[in-house]
Amino acid sequence: MRKKQQITCIVCPLSCTIEVEEKDGAYTASGHECSRGEKYALQETLDPRRVLTGTVRVDGGRVPRLPVKTTSPIPKALILEAARLLDEITVKAPLRCGELIVKDFAGSGADLVATRSLEAGGRQQEPGSQRPEGGE
Ligand code: SF4
């Protein structure tokens, strides 16, 4: 039995349309301009993954949430459960950008890390929250 599906490659701005065909359990890609696209299309068909980004609660900081992300793409099937687990995490300052928050997050094989630094007791401001000079 043959099955076909079209995938838009997101690896580079050319956005090639790649067709992936399954025949007797074997998958082949066509329409890609380079091997990165072929790899992406087959991965997206057989084991789609995404980098999870979100925030976790900060205890005692001047900012209420710390942005975090997984160190590599995790299986798409795990994304909802992993996002739910973010709500159960509370971190304490100080933390450096890139510091490990949870190893093997949600059993995905990827670690969860901070994407910004938190200073202990330091003055923290959310990006974009500064008031313009002389403004109210
Ligand atoms: S197949 Fe290659 S050239 Fe085409 S969008 Fe993907 S990465 Fe870019």
Q: What are the b/e assignments for 29-52, b being 16+ CB within 10 Å?
A: beebeeeebbebbbebbeeebeeb
62 pLDDT more than 90: no
**Lookup: tokens for 13:** 């701005």
* Measured distance CA(10)–CA(128) in Å, rounded: 29
Task: Give the pLDDT score at 129.
Answer: 47
Answer yes or no: is pLDDT of 69 > 90. yes
Q: Is the CB of 37 under 6 A from ligand 1?
A: yes
The model's pTM: 0.76
Classify domain 53-114 by CATH number: 3.10.530.10
pLDDT in tens, 6-34: 999 999 999 999 999 999 999 999 999 99
Q: List, for residues 46-56, the tens digit of each pLDDT value.
A: 999 999 999 99
Q: Which atom of ligand 1 is nearest to the CA of 37?
A: 1
Q: What pLDDT is recorded for position 133?
A: 42
Q: Is 51 in the pocket of ligand 1 (CB under 6 A)?
A: no
- State residue 86's pLDDT score: 97
* Positions of CATH 3.10.530.10 in the chain: 53-114
Distance CA 40, CA 51 (A): 14
pLDDT at 130 over 60: no
Q: What letter does residue 80 receive in the DSSP assignment? A: H
Strands (E) in 71-123, as ranges, are 74-75, 90-92, 100-102, 112-114
Closest ligand 1 atom, residue 32 Cα: 1
